Amino acid sequence: MTDTFPGVADVSGLDRDKSPLGAVDQEVLTLGDALEGHPDVTGVTDFPDIIMAGGIPADLTFTADGTTWALALQPGLDGEILQYVPEFPPTVTALPAGPLRTIVAPAILAYPAYRTVSALTSITADTLTVHRPGRSHYTVRLTPVAAPPAA
């Protein structure tokens, strides 16, 4: 598996202990673990079968306050998910309102695998950059998952 979107949606049922994971797949699982640690999150699904706006497959979903949200790791300008920069990450900036501020950012900041988060409001209000130790980072995009039609 490569470290880009193609094929990520095909790994549902992934066995964390036996499957050789690529860096991006491992990052999705780590992000899911961080979200599971947030007290307001009632469920996290790694690699759901959900397609977000623009045809991008969701990497994970979580439920908070009765709403299910999808997160997708976004490729950088070079097409790769994980980006490496020579400078240190910024300090936490003002984050957009909503689940990025109340659920995702606090879960990431409380998890030891992450260093900080920053907002990318120049892209869209629903994105957040996640900074890891070692000067790597990636961007996640948040989208609400449409509720299934009532039966």
**Domain membership flag for residue 9:** no
User: Is the pLDDT assigned to residue 35 strictly greater than 90?
Assistant: yes
Reported confidence tier of residue 110, pLDDT bands at 50, 70, 90? very high
**Domain membership flag for residue 134:** yes
**Domain membership flag for residue 150:** no
Expressed as residue numbers, the domain containing 40 is 21-144
Number of H helices, E strands in the chain: 3, 7
Under a CB-based contact definition with an 8 Å cutoff, are residues 14 and 25 in contact? Answer: yes
Q: What is the C-alpha to C-alpha distance for residues 122 and 114, in angstroms, rounded to an integer?
A: 22
Considering only 72-76, 91-95, 106-110, 124-128, which range has the smallest mean pLDDT? 91-95
CA angle 51, 54, 55 (to 5 degrees): 40
**Domain membership flag for residue 81:** yes
**Domain membership flag for residue 6:** no
What domain count does the chain have? 1
Phi-psi region of 90 (alpha: psi -120 to 50; beta: other; left: phi over 0): beta
**Domain membership flag for residue 121:** yes
**Domain membership flag for residue 11:** no
Residue 101 has phi, psi (to 5 degrees) of -80, -40
**pLDDT recorded at residue 149:** 43
